């Protein structure tokens, strides 16, 4: 535990008696009042998450001349100023090195936000491939980040930071002055609810955290609630549902791949596309309240078809839900499956994503 990195909010988590846990090389709050209570508050009001552990890279340079366009599964030059785009950093085999979001700050400036854990590898991959007069700076741990998520998040930020909040479109952002310091506020998140991600200097992050938590509509939430919220939406988690041996095609995320231009891993994906998948991600819903666990087997007609990568009890659906990789035949919607291990057998049915459809995401 002594070797884990800590966010600037470590003292705040301890003051709130958070249960702390290792995550991606960081010591992070798993829960405060309880995972289910925090999950419910996010769905009904507004939850505040410490996400300072996320990797942040600042790039400056001409996109076409530096080679950075070729590193991502999507085009950078077509991202409008003030908007952001989700996609992948791939290896030559088409495997997902990381999933990430890129913000277009200016014609020649990008903010690349990546997952905690693989951020050092991500930075090395990007830095090593750049050419020309490109500059990339790793600001991980030096620039803070908070996520305010939930159906009341907009009204809260409007009250504190003004009408510019109202103008931020889905997957858009504004550069605003918060507490006397420049910040980037984006309408993005990982919960399926209306929400905002706020990037600002570490010197202001504790003050902002306290300001928002002083509002009775806001409560802190940890990684446990965050994981449950994202699973109900069917969002993949890097390290569980995505990794370097998994391609976007297998993960059902090909809509975030632009095949009209060259990028690392393109040829491998085209070969996989023409040759057919050997496995595919399936989302399933249990016939009971039991939780399917990571590593459980997935069976069809008595034969193992795959393995669970994410699973939990869904408070919003009142049953167990999960995702995993199976043979393509077992991934068809409405297919009956069995999930379990060592004598435990849970009946399940393959369903379309998202599991939960009543969130305020695009409110």
Q: Give pLDDT tens digits for 63-111.
A: 999 999 999 999 999 999 999 999 999 999 999 999 999 999 999 999 9
Domain for residue 102, yes or no?
A: yes
* pLDDT(348) > 70: yes
pLDDT at 1: 64
3-state secondary structure of 109: strand
The C-alpha atoms of residue 28 and residue 50 are separated, in whole angstroms, by 8
In a domain, 190, yes or no: yes
Domain assignment of residue 260, yes or no: no
Choosing from 200, 216, 233, the residue where a domain stops is: 233
* pLDDT tens for each residue of 295-327: 999 999 999 999 999 999 999 999 999 999 999
The verdict on residue 247 lying in a domain is no
Question: Contact 355/346 with Cβ under 8 angstroms?
Answer: no
**pLDDT value, residue 343:** 86
Is residue 273, in this structure, part of any structural domain at all? no
Q: Are 280 and 291 in contact (CB under 8 A)?
A: no
So what's the pLDDT on residue 363? 86
Which pLDDT belongs to residue 92? 98
Tokens read off for 76: 């950078």
Judgement on whether residues 49 and 148 belong to the same structural domain of the protein: yes
In a domain, 363, yes or no: no
Q: Are strands 5-6 and 26-31 parallel, antiparallel or unpaired?
A: parallel
33 and 46 in a single domain? The answer is: yes
pLDDT value of residue 336 = 98
Asked whether the predicted pLDDT for residue 51 surpasses 90, the reply is: yes
CA-closest candidate to residue 56, choices 236, 172, 184: 184
pLDDT of 122 > 70? The answer is yes
Pair 149, 224 in one domain:
yes
Residues 9 and 29 in one domain: yes
Dig out the tokens for 197 from the structure.
């991600």
Percent of the chain at pLDDT exceeding 70: 99
CATH number, domain of 61, equals: 3.30.70.1400
Mean pLDDT across the chain: 97
Looking at the structure, do residues 63 and 92 belong to the same domain, yes or no? Answer: yes
Judged against a pLDDT cut of 80, whether residue 2 lies above it is answered with: no
Residue identified by tokens 């938590």 is 213
Beta strands in 134-189 (DSSP E): 135-138, 143-149, 173-178, 181-186
**pLDDT category, 362, cuts 50, 70, 90?**
confident
Does any domain span residue 358?
no
Last residue of some domain: 203, 233, 263? 233
Crossing angle of helices 153-161 and 202-213, rounded to 10°: 120
Q: In terms of domains, do 22 and 49 share one?
A: yes
Asked which of 164, 199, 233 is the last residue of a domain, the reply is 233
The answer on 167 and 119 residing in a single domain is: no
pLDDT tens figures, 21-31: 999 999 999 99
| Structural domain count, the chain | 3
Q: How far apart are CA 102 and CA 307, in angstroms?
A: 31
Residues 321 and 189 in one domain: no
Identify whether residues 38 and 160 lie together within a single domain. yes
Q: Which CATH number belongs to the domain containing residue 227 in this structure?
A: 3.30.1360.120
Are 282 and 163 members of one domain?
no
Domain at 293, CATH number: 2.40.30.110
Phi, psi of 334 (to 5 degrees): 80, 5
Of the candidates 236, 309, 310, the one whose C-alpha atom is nearest the C-alpha of residue 88 is 236
- pTM summary value: 0.97
Full domain range(s) for residue 288: 278-350
In a shared domain, residues 82 and 209: no
For 180-203, the pLDDT digits (tens) are: 999 999 999 999 999 999 999 999
Q: Are residues 187 and 38 in the same domain?
A: yes
């Amino acid at each position: 535990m002594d070797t884990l990195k800590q966010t600037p909010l470590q003292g705040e988590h301890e003051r709130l008696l958070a249960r702390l846990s290792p995550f991606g090389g960081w010591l992070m709050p798993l829960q405060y009042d309880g995972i289910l209570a925090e999950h419910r508050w996010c769905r009904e009001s507004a939850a505040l998450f410490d996400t300072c552990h996320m990797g942040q890279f600042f790039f400056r340079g001409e996109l076409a001349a530096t080679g950075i366009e070729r590193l991502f599964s999507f085009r950078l030059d077509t991202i409008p100023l003030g908007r952001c785009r989700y996609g992948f950093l791939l290896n030559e085999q088409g495997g997902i090195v990381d999933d990430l979001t890129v913000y277009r700050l200016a014609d020649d400036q990008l903010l690349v936000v990546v997952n905690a854990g693989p951020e050092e590898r991500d930075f090395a991959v990007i830095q090593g491939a750049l050419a020309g007069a490109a500059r990339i700076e790793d600001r991980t741990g030096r620039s803070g980040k908070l996520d305010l998520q939930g159906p009341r998040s907009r009204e809260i930020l409007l009250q504190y930071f003004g009408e510019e909040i109202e103008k931020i479109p889905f997957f858009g952002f504004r550069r605003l002055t918060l507490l006397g310091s420049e910040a980037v506020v984006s309408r993005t998140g990982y919960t399926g609810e209306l929400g905002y991600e706020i990037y600002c200097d570490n010197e202001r992050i504790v003050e902002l955290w306290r300001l928002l938590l002083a509002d009775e509509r806001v409560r802190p939430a940890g990684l446990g609630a965050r994981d449950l919220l994202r699973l109900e939406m069917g969002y993949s988690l890097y390290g569980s549902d995505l990794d370097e041996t998994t391609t976007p095609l297998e993960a059902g995320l090909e809509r975030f791949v632009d095949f009209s231009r060259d990028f690392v891993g393109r040829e491998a994906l085209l070969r996989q596309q023409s040759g057919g998948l050997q496995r595919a991600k399936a989302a399933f819903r249990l016939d009971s309240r039991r939780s399917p666990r990571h590593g459980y087997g997935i069976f069809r007609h008595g034969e193992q078809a795959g393995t669970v990568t994410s699973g939990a009890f869904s408070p919003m659906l009142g049953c167990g839900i999960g995702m995993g990789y199976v043979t393509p035949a077992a991934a068809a919607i409405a297919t009956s499956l069995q999930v379990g291990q060592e004598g435990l057998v849970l009946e399940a049915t393959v369903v379309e994503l998202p599991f939960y459809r009543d969130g305020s995401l695009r409110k």
